[in-house]
Structure 1
Amino acid sequence: MVHPVDVIVGKRIRLRRSALSISQTELAERLGLTFQQIQKYERGSNRVSCSRLVELSKALDVPIVYFFEDTGSDEGRLFDQLDLRIIPEVRRLVSAFQKIENTQERRLAIALMESMVTGSDR
């Protein structure tokens, strides 16, 4: 049975790896593993040992606490609900949003996205 904490740790591994634009293969090579093992960690189907977590924190340049930070905050809940399959799209969206310099245009972009979500809930 997959434990929820293993899933959260796995999501955080994948999110950080993706943020650094590191492939599963590259991360695996840094750790002396196969990319399949990285996949299993990221899915939460294999637990990450303490010693491996130390290695991952070094390879991903984050403190160990990064993998366990409080998920009680709004940001933490959003993070843990993130569908990791859409990370490339999220990255494109954030990149485009950052290029909008006008504050009013940013507000309009947010309103458009919110109206699309509200419209789909009907």
Structure 2
Amino acid sequence: MSNEARQPNATDVNVGHRVRMRRLELSMSQGKLAEILGLTFQQIQKYEKGANRISSSRLDEIAKALSVPVAFFFPESAHSSAEAMQVQELLSTANSLRLQRAFAAIQDPDVKRSLLILAETLASQANPSLEPS
């Protein structure tokens, strides 16, 4: 093995993103999850980044703590494309979860459509290859 820094395994990264996404959905801190599992929050950080591989028994404990089946951490789409991985990474951030919840709470379809057009317009200004639909 070379002296270069080892890159995290893609599966470990995907599983870590799913752990983070579910933890944030539950509004649970890394410290709280660590406490439930008898770990440090730094270990949870490493799991979520994919820097440390999660053993099968630990993944089972995490699944129970987050009230999901172990299969939750291995969605078929996570391995199907780079685009699916980007979506998964995006959905694992606190701000995107807040945005999803806020968007879902809007009842008026015209307001939702206007908000979507605004977001697409702002995105296209930052990245011209993303033109509004």
TM-score range relative to shorter protein? 0.7 to 0.9
Find 1:18's aligned residue among 16, 21, 24.
24
Equivalent-residue separation in structure 2 for 1:35 and 1:49 (angstroms): 17
Runs of 4 or more, structure 1, over 3 Å off, are: 73-79
Q: 1:81 aligns with which of 73, 77, 89?
A: 89
Unaligned runs of 5+ in 2: 1-5, 129-133
Unaligned runs of 5+ in 1: none
Displacement after TM superposition at 1:74 (Å): 9.5
Shift of 1:104: 1.2
Q: Tell me which of 98, 102, 108 is aligned to 2:108.
A: 102
Return the offset for 1:42: 0.6
Q: 67, 79, 104: which is aligned to 2:73?
A: 67
RMSD: 2.1
Partner of residue 119, structure 1: 125
Give the number of equivalent residue pairs. Answer: 120
Q: TM-score, with normalisation over the residues of structure 1?
A: 0.86
1:75/1:36 CA distance change after superposition, 3 Å: same
- TM-score, structure 2 normalization: 0.80
Superposed counterparts of 1:20-39, under 5 Å = 20-39=26-45
> Would the alpha carbon gap of residues 81 and 25 (structure 1) be closer, same or farther in structure 2, given more than 3 Å must change?
closer
